[in-house]
Amino acid sequence: MLGRLWSPEEAGAMASSIILEYTGMNSGAQLAFGDRTAEKEQLERILAAAARAADGEPLQYIFGYTIFCGQRIEVGSGVLIPRPETEEMTAMIIAGNRGYTGTVTDLCTGSGCIAIALSATFAEATVVAVENSPAALRAAARNIQLTGTSVQLIAADILSQAPETVPVSGIIVSNPPYVRMSEMGEMHRNVTEFEPHEALFVPDGDPLLYYRSIAAIADARLEPGGALWLEVNEQLGAETAALLHRDIYENIEIIKDIRGKERFIKAVRHGR
């Protein structure tokens, strides 16, 4: 069933994940006890999930959640599924700011995953998350409640709202839409046919529109000595970094992700 759309390796991994989700048997147990028969209800759920996955639907939507930096984050239609790269950036922020007690602002928060992970780690910090999608706002609010984190959610469109909409912050982070429309053809249908395009894609003629707004917000609201963190299109790292003015930032780094792609930008504001 899964082999219609996925390679044998991908199909096997997905089948194993589905079995784990509905039976609790990990891959080792599946190998050791592969001759066991699932209970009727379990089997029905496994087959239903496999049918949806065979049609291209992401497992995270089928299961209704994903794990991000140790936090269970609910996701569904209209809400972008958090990526490993975003988790990698969040882990960098955590590692470099142990014991942080200031203010963090997460722009384009989506499911709330970054803000929630930072709030869970920086227990004494003020964490603010900004989003304009109604579906994402609902998901973020529910995830904040379910995780018991203290994230302040602001409904605002960073493309049109004044910078003063967000608080002065020591850390500003964002994973905004950055995939050019022309790159859509390179992506799997489980992304292009199921995930929200407004959270992923930007026009080819203006691929940095979100970053210009983020830069304007950071120029106005990032504290002296504070850090701006961005997840970016791997092909547009230098162009994105060029939006940040050297007279404002003392250090602007383009950082490669675990796969060697230019995926993140960290910029530290002058002064303290």
What is the per-residue pLDDT across 161-189, written as a single tens digit (0 to 9) for each?
999 999 999 999 999 999 999 999 989 88
- % of residues, the chain, pLDDT over 90: 78
Total residue count of the chain as it appears in this document: 272
Weakest-pLDDT range from 5-14, 47-56, 148-157: 5-14
pLDDT > 90? residue 87:
yes
Compute the distance between CA of residue 54 and CA of residue 57 in angstroms, rounded to an integer: 7
What is the per-residue pLDDT across 201-243, written as a single tens digit (0 to 9) for each?
999 999 999 999 999 999 999 999 999 999 999 999 999 999 9
3-state secondary structure 7-57: CHHHHHHHHHHHHHHHHCCCHHHHHHCCCCCCCHHHHHHHHHHHHHHHCCC
Residue written as tokens 């230019």?
A: 262
Domain ranges of the chain: 2-55, 80-269
Residue written as tokens 């007690």?
A: 101
CB half-sphere exposure, 49, CA atoms < 13 A = 24
Give residue 34's pLDDT: 56
Phi, psi torsion values for 154, nearest 5 degrees: -120, 125
Give residue 8's pLDDT: 83
pLDDT > 70? residue 200:
yes
pLDDT band per the 50, 70, 90 thresholds, residue 20: confident
- Whether residue 46 contacts residue 73, with contact meaning beta carbons closer than 8 Å, is answered with no
Nearest to 194 by CA among 1, 26, 5, 10: 5
pLDDT band per the 50, 70, 90 thresholds, residue 88: very high
Compute CA distances 208 → 2, 97, 116, 240, whole Å. 37, 28, 26, 7
- Whether residue 229 contacts residue 266, with contact meaning beta carbons closer than 8 Å, is answered with yes
- Whether residue 241 contacts residue 268, with contact meaning beta carbons closer than 8 Å, is answered with no
Give residue 30's pLDDT: 59
pLDDT > 60? residue 35:
no
pLDDT band per the 50, 70, 90 thresholds, residue 32: very low
**Rg (the chain; Cα; Å):** 20
Q: What secondary structure letter does DSSP report for 82?
A: P
Give residue 36's pLDDT: 62
pLDDT band per the 50, 70, 90 thresholds, residue 93: very high
- Whether residue 79 contacts residue 136, with contact meaning beta carbons closer than 8 Å, is answered with yes
Angle, nearest 10°, between helix axes 84-95 and 113-121? 30
pLDDT > 70? residue 21:
yes
- Whether residue 166 contacts residue 128, with contact meaning beta carbons closer than 8 Å, is answered with yes
Compute the distance between CA of residue 178 and CA of residue 159 in angstroms, rounded to an integer: 14
Output the pTM of the full model.
0.93
Q: Which range in 39-43, 187-191, 263-267 is most confidently predicted, on average pLDDT? A: 263-267
Compute CA distances 269 → 169, 221, 225, 227, 255, whole Å. 11, 11, 5, 6, 17
Weakest-pLDDT range from 75-84, 121-130, 183-192, 218-227: 183-192
Compute CA distances 144 → 91, 110, 137, 148, 175, whole Å. 19, 12, 10, 6, 18
Q: Which range in 54-58, 156-160, 187-191 is most confidently predicted, on average pLDDT? A: 156-160
Nearest to 214 by CA among 240, 179, 235, 196: 240
- Provide the mean pLDDT of the chain: 92
> Domain 80-269, CATH 3.40.50.150 — does that match?
yes
